[in-house]
Amino acid sequence: MAQQLINGILLGGVYALVGVGMTMIFGIVQLTNLAHGEFIILAAYLSSVISVGLGLSPLLTLIITVPLMFVIGYILQNVLINKLMERGSEPALLVTFGLSIIIQNALLLIFSADANRLIVSFQALSIPLGGMGRIPVLNLVVCLIGIATLFVLNLFLKKTYIGRSIRATSDDKVAAALMGVNVKQTYGIAMGLALATAAIAGTMVGMIYPFYPSTGSGYLIIAFGVVVIGGMGSITGTLVAGFIFGLAQVLGGSNYGLLIGYLVLIVMLAVRPQGLFAK
Amino acid sequence: MNKTKVTKKTGKKILRFGVLVVLIVLLYVLGLAGLFSTNAMRILLNIALYVTLGTMWNLMSGFTGMTSLGQQAFIGIAGYTLCVITSTYNLPFWIGIVLGGLFSAILALLMSMVLFRMRGMYFAIATWVTAEALKTFFTSWKFVKMGAGMSVKARPYPGVSLIYVIALSLSIIAILVVYSLLKSKTGLGLNAMRDDADAASSVGVNIFRSRLLCFVVSGFFTGIAGAIFYLNRGSIFPSGGFGTEWTVAIVFIVIIGGIGTIEGPILGAIIYVALSEYLSKYPGYSMIILGFIAIVVIVALPYGIAGTIERKLNLTVFSTRRTLEG
């Protein structure tokens, strides 16, 4: 039981990271990015290719994948989604759905359906806690990176000029535009940041779990869960939701874990769709 | 209203109606007379099923504003009902199909209790999560043999021509049901609701009842179509029956054809089945190409093919628009 709690909490940090990009886009751009899970898996594959190709540790591949995914997000938002958003949210939603299908099948074509995994040197290490079980070092590192990412992102949104303009746009797009904020540019940066967090999330989940081209939709649902439980655009909420979702899943075991997660999600959607930590 | 103009319009209507009836009769006669090859019949059968699925998604998303991404929940439930009824209880397949539709309708009713509190994207997410949850549940449910899948048992097994006739009839009934639903007073309310739910509610449209009706009708027909699909396929697995691929296909069909039009899903289904037949030569690429086409159409033809034709040439076969002359 103690071991399960430890695992659940450590998983929560990663889940918060999986969800944070989704919650940003939901809160700021007001778009449901149905390709978020696929972007996470895409990043995991990029990380795997770079780490094998250059002989780097998967953690160091982040130096390349994070800026790369930022650029992809920025271009995607500016070239495609901004224009569609003018026609309402549905066309953009369906385009991200199309993107998820394209990415998933392109990965399947290139990498086949076999399981892939990012290997690090401290894979099997763990810290014993006396009679209370053990803390796996890998999961601890991954959880801490997740929390650190959220912390940095929060700081960025609170303290920098770009961060403030992103929050202003999220609160009132017209007022922000009148104050001289370039709304479309801001959306591009927000999408870039969201995909940058997806890049980190991809490497993290790739280190703790095997991944296939089709695992993206599973992470999308986790991201949804985190968004819905935490509330749109709330980073603190995202973290708490990540822990709730991680614990619910670990306590349910391998068979019913996912099912419990889904049920928590549906109940939350029905009872409190604005999330536990809504503004 | 000018009298000659009216008769001209009615004449055109009768002509279109006549062409349609001849086409339908031909589809039946050629099928029953065995003049189609088995392959042609299989393709037409798929088109008919996708027309039904697309029409029912369109009823929700295009006419009511409820975008579901979880239609596979109904397809899977009905497919499994067919298998359980025929192979676990050894009952005839038509009972399986009818019960499949009924269970899907009941599922829709149950889902509505929770899902109807949500709007827009939340509703879309929740339908999808429900389907994924069912997939997970069926993968670990012993009664339906978990992930190993189940098969349909029927002696004698219905031939493809019989299944084709059933599917064709289903698609015609589905279109007629949606058409008459939209032409009714409820339909007027539905359109008002899609455009502005608050305004519609304030002038007396019972939003909850209208939405429920659409959702249950959509669930019922989607289930029946799913059961017929699996009667033709012969076996079902949780990953396929509750697969996201269903929603991909349905969304593609309605978006390409033209959302919010009766003709859209028909055109879309023909294009989808033809494309997937053609692309099956290039396994792996087909879904990527379909995804690209869908994105290009969403960007370039916002109203789909049927919607664009309707706007540019003012040509419709089934108009659900209301005009003064009726």
pLDDT tens digits along B296-309: 998 988 888 888 88
Got the DSSP string for A11-75?
HHHHHHHHHHHHHHIIIII----TTHHHHHHHHHHHHHHHHHHHT--TTTTHHHHHHHHHHHHHH
CA distance A195 to A151: 17
With tokens 């996470």, the residue in question is A40
Cβ contacts of B69 within 8 Å, gap of 6 or more: A34, A97, B124, B125, B127, B128, B131, B247, B251
A60 inside 8 A of chain B by CB: no
Higher pLDDT, A208 or B125: A208
Residue contact B140–A97, C-beta within 8 A: no
Residue contact B133–A263, C-beta within 8 A: yes
Residue B139 CB-half CA count within 13 A: 18
B252 found inside a domain? yes
Q: Note the pLDDT tens digit of each residue in A188-244.
A: 999 999 999 999 999 999 999 999 998 888 898 888 888 888 876 677 888 888 888
Residue B136 CB-half CA count within 13 A: 20
Crossing angle of the two packed helices B38-64 and B3-32, in degrees rounded to 10: 140
Instruction: Measure in Å the smallest separation between the Cα of B16 and chain A Cα atoms.
Output: 32
* B128, B293, B298, B301, best to mutate vs chain A, most A CBs in 10 Å: B298
pLDDT score at B171: 97
> Is A74 in contact with A192 (CB distance < 8 Å)?
yes
- My answer on whether omega of the bond before A273 falls inside 30° of 0, hence cis, is no
> Is A227 in contact with A239 (CB distance < 8 Å)?
no
Query: Among A36-45, A132-141, B92-101, where is mean pLDDT lowest?
Result: A132-141
**Six token digits for residue B281:** 């030569």
Q: Is B2 helix (H, G, I), strand (E, B) or coil?
A: coil
pLDDT band at B5 (very low <50, low <70, confident <90, very high): low
pLDDT score at B174: 97
Which H/E stretch holds residue A136? Answer: strand A134-136
Answer yes or no: is pLDDT of A117 > 70. yes
Q: Which domain holds residue A9?
A: 2-114+130-271
Residue contact A221–B129, C-beta within 8 A: yes
A233 found inside a domain? yes
B232 found inside a domain? yes
Provide the number of CB pairs (under 8 Å) joining chain A to chain B: 101
Residue contact A83–B67, C-beta within 8 A: no
Q: Note the pLDDT tens digit of each residue in B27-56.
A: 888 888 878 888 899 999 999 999 999 999
Which H/E stretch holds residue B121? Answer: helix B120-139
Q: Note the pLDDT tens digit of each residue in B185-202.
A: 888 888 787 788 788 888
Chain A residue numbers touching B248 (CB-CB < 8 A): 97, 101
CA distance A181 to B8: 57
Instruction: Measure in Å the smallest separation between the Cα of A178 and chain B Cα atoms.
Output: 28
With tokens 């886009």, the residue in question is A25
Instruction: Measure in Å the smallest separation between the Cα of A261 and chain B Cα atoms.
Output: 9
pLDDT score at B326: 39
CATH of the domain at B119: 1.10.3470
B115 found inside a domain? yes
Answer yes or no: is pLDDT of B94 > 80. yes
Instruction: Measure in Å the smallest separation between the Cα of B302 and chain A Cα atoms.
Output: 8
pLDDT score at A90: 79
pLDDT band at A38 (very low <50, low <70, confident <90, very high): very high
B99 found inside a domain? yes
E-strand stretches of B88-183: 150-151
Crossing angle of the two packed helices A183-208 and A36-54, in degrees rounded to 10: 60
Closest chain A CA to residue B123: A269
Chain B residue numbers touching A224 (CB-CB < 8 A): 125, 129
Chain B residue numbers touching A221 (CB-CB < 8 A): 128-129, 132
Query: Among A35-39, A90-94, B10-14, B240-244, where is mean pLDDT lowest?
Result: B10-14
A174 found inside a domain? yes
Domain count, chain A: 1
Residue contact B298–A228, C-beta within 8 A: no
Closest chain B CA to residue A262: B133
Instruction: Measure in Å the smallest separation between the Cα of B296 and chain A Cα atoms.
Output: 9
* A100, A219, A259, A271, best to mutate vs chain B, most B CBs in 10 Å: A259
Strand partners, A127: A135
B241 found inside a domain? yes
A119 found inside a domain? no
Q: Which domain holds residue B55?
A: 38-313
Chain A residue numbers touching B137 (CB-CB < 8 A): 259
Answer yes or no: is pLDDT of A158 > 60. yes
- Phi/psi for A131 (5° steps) reads -85, 0
pLDDT score at B325: 45
Residue contact B288–A102, C-beta within 8 A: yes
Domain count, chain B: 1
Residue contact B117–A106, C-beta within 8 A: no
CA distance B93 to B103: 15
Q: What is the largest CA-CA distance in chain A?
A: 61
Instruction: Measure in Å the smallest separation between the Cα of B106 and chain A Cα atoms.
Output: 18
A227 found inside a domain? yes
Instruction: Measure in Å the smallest separation between the Cα of A84 and chain B Cα atoms.
Output: 7
Answer yes or no: is pLDDT of A145 > 80. yes
Q: Closest Cα to residue B218, out of B181, B186, B166?
A: B181
Answer yes or no: is pLDDT of B1 > 60. no
* Minimum-distance CB partner of A101 among B132, B291, B298: B291
A120 found inside a domain? no
Closest chain A CA to residue B136: A259
Residue contact B132–A255, C-beta within 8 A: no
pLDDT band at B235 (very low <50, low <70, confident <90, very high): very high
With tokens 């990009």, the residue in question is A21
Q: Closest Cα to residue A242, out of A46, A22, A1?
A: A22
Residue contact B125–A255, C-beta within 8 A: no
- Phi/psi for A136 (5° steps) reads -65, 125
pLDDT score at A260: 79
Residue A210 CB-half CA count within 13 A: 5
C-alpha dihedral sign at B257, B262, B266, B267:
negative
Closest chain A CA to residue B128: A221
A122 found inside a domain? no
CA distance A123 to A100: 30
A276 found inside a domain? no
pLDDT score at B88: 93
Distances, alpha carbon A187 to alpha carbons A78, A80, A167, A182, in Å: 8, 12, 11, 9
C-alpha dihedral sign at B287, B100, B210, B326:
positive
Closest chain B CA to residue A112: B284
Q: Is A240 helix (H, G, I), strand (E, B) or coil?
A: helix
Query: Among A179-183, B194-198, B242-246, where is mean pLDDT lowest?
Result: B194-198
pLDDT score at B116: 84
Query: Among A32-46, B4-18, B87-101, B280-294, where is mean pLDDT lowest?
Result: B4-18
Residue contact B130–A94, C-beta within 8 A: no
Distances, alpha carbon A162 to alpha carbons A157, A159, A195, A222, B191, in Å: 7, 9, 17, 28, 42
Residue contact A105–B291, C-beta within 8 A: yes
CA distance B178 to A64: 52
Got the DSSP string for A74-135?
HHHIIIIIHHHHTT-HHHHHHHHHHHHHHHHHHHHHHH-SS-B----TTTT-EEE-GGG-EE
Highest average pLDDT, of A242-251, A265-274, B154-163, comes from B154-163
What is the average pLDDT across A78-88? 89
What is the average pLDDT across A29-41? 92
Q: Which of residues 210-269 of A touch B (CB under 8 A)?
A: 217, 221, 224, 228, 255-256, 258-259, 262-263, 265-267, 269
Instruction: Measure in Å the smallest separation between the Cα of A95 and chain B Cα atoms.
Output: 6
pLDDT score at A173: 85
**What is the percentage of chain B residues whose pLDDT exceeds 90?**
47
* Residue B259 one-letter amino acid: I
With tokens 């990176």, the residue in question is A145
Residue contact A101–B298, C-beta within 8 A: no
Cβ-in-10-Å burial (0-12, 13-18, 19+) of A32 comes to buried
Cβ contacts of B265 within 8 Å, gap of 6 or more: B50, B51, B54, B55, B57, B58, B253, B254, B257
